[in-house]
């Protein structure tokens, strides 16, 4: 197999959660361009339809399954729909997530739980459902954050705790499923990428972060999508249990 063929995802079936906006759209487009068929899950069905159209424009198939990943039964429904439509699941991009920014002394239990339910619990329920049906050679890519490794000047206890927990979850699932099932599990820890989330930042906050970014700019969606394709494809076939920071150098400063 040639070097370029190692990255080929032709006819693989890839589930992307949180596929209605931001990095989820980038992941969907990246895997479609690499040859995969997509199962797109998120709560906003209207936005999922837009992502599906961008996938189909590449000549690949797209299945839309509205779902809230904090509900285990809905995670199972996504996987069941994928198997019914395509016959299998090869890759999960565990991207669905929400953020919050509350001072720790004022954050309510419901506010904290709402973030953990989606970011951590949802990632686990999706991985669990996929792990039951994935063939040997399957790959799960969990989306953590550099805020699971460092801080960014905002009070984000729930978000950072959930994203740090995903790193631990990644290691454990990699250990459980590597030799027994032949499934690789890795995580990406994105830094600062332009998204709906960054659009909500107070004016001047983004500029204040740039001194910590060695490369001096936001990341681009195609850069993180390309890294996910590498991890999920045969090109990343000897990598498991790892967390890859895609952060322009934030975590080395």
CA dist., res. 155 & res. 249, Å (int): 22
213 and 186 Cβ atoms separated by less than 8 Å: no
CA dist., res. 253 & res. 251, Å (int): 6
CA 52 from chain center: how many Å?
17
H-type helices in the chain, by residue range?
22-33, 45-56, 72-86, 109-116, 122-131, 157-181, 196-199, 205-209, 221-232
**Which domain CATH number covers 114?**
3.40.50.720
Query: No. of H helices and E strands in the chain?
Result: 9, 7
253 part of a folded domain: no
Q: What number of CA atoms fall less than 13 Å from residue 206's CA on the CB side? A: 16
If you average pLDDT over residues 141-160, what whole number do you get?
92
Average pLDDT in the chain? 94
Instruction: Read off the tokens for 223.
Output: 């850069």
CA dist., res. 89 & res. 205, Å (int): 40
If you average pLDDT over residues 124-134, what whole number do you get?
98
* Domain that residue 200 falls in: 4-246
* Cβ neighbours of 141 (radius 10 Å): 26
Show the 3-state SS of 145-161.
Answer: CHHHCCCCCCCEHHHHH
37 and 49 Cβ atoms separated by less than 8 Å: no
Instruction: Read off the tokens for 170.
Output: 């990644």
pLDDT at 207: 74
108 part of a folded domain: yes
List, for residues 184-230, the tens digit of each pLDDT value: 999 999 999 876 666 666 667 767 778 889 999 999 999 999 999 99
Query: With pLDDT > 70 as the criterion, what percentage of the chain qualifies?
Result: 96
List, for residues 62-107, the tens digit of each pLDDT value: 999 999 999 999 999 999 999 999 999 999 999 999 998 899 999 9
252 part of a folded domain: no
Residue 233 binned pLDDT confidence (cut-offs 50, 70, 90): very high
Residue 153 binned pLDDT confidence (cut-offs 50, 70, 90): confident
pLDDT at 122: 98
CA dist., res. 111 & res. 172, Å (int): 27
pLDDT at 210: 84
97 part of a folded domain: yes
144 part of a folded domain: yes
Is position 102 annotated as part of the catalytic site? Answer: no
pLDDT at 199: 63
Round the CA-based radius of gyration of the chain to a whole number and report it: 17
149 part of a folded domain: yes
If you average pLDDT over residues 34-63, what whole number do you get?
96
Q: Does 169 have pLDDT greater than 90?
A: yes
79 part of a folded domain: yes
61 and 28 Cβ atoms separated by less than 8 Å: no
List, for residues 107-126, the tens digit of each pLDDT value: 999 999 999 999 999 999 99
Choice among 102, 124, 159, 238 that is catalytic:
159
Query: Domains in the chain: how many in total?
Result: 1
């Amino acid at each position: 197999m040639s070097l370029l063929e190692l990255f080929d995802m032709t006819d693989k079936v890839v589930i992307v959660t949180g596929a209605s906006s931001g990095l989820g759209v980038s992941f969907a487009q990246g895997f479609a361009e690499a040859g995969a068929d997509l199962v797109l899950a998120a709560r906003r069905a209207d936005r999922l339809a837009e992502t599906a159209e961008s996938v189909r424009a590449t000549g690949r198939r797209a299945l839309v399954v509205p779902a809230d990943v904090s509900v285990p039964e809905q995670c199972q429904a996504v996987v069941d729909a994928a198997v019914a439509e395509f016959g299998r699941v090869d890759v999960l991009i565990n991207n669905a997530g929400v953020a919050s920014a509350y001072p720790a002394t004022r954050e309510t239990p419901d506010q904290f739980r709402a973030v953990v339910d989606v970011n951590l619990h949802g990632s686990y329920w999706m991985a669990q459902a996929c792990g039951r049906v994935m063939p040997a050679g399957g790959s799960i890519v969990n989306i953590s954050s550099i805020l699971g490794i460092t801080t960014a000047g905002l009070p984000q206890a729930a978000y950072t705790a959930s994203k740090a927990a995903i790193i631990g979850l990644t290691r454990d699932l990699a250990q459980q499923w590597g030799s027994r099932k032949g499934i690789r599990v890795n995580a990406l820890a994105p830094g600062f990428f332009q998204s709906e989330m960054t659009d909500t930042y107070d004016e001047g906050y983004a500029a204040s972060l740039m001194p910590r970014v060695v490369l001096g700019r936001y990341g681009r969606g195609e850069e993180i999508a390309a890294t996910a394709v590498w991890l999920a494809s045969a090109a990343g076939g000897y990598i498991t249990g790892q967390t890859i920071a895609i952060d322009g150098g934030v975590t080395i400063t």
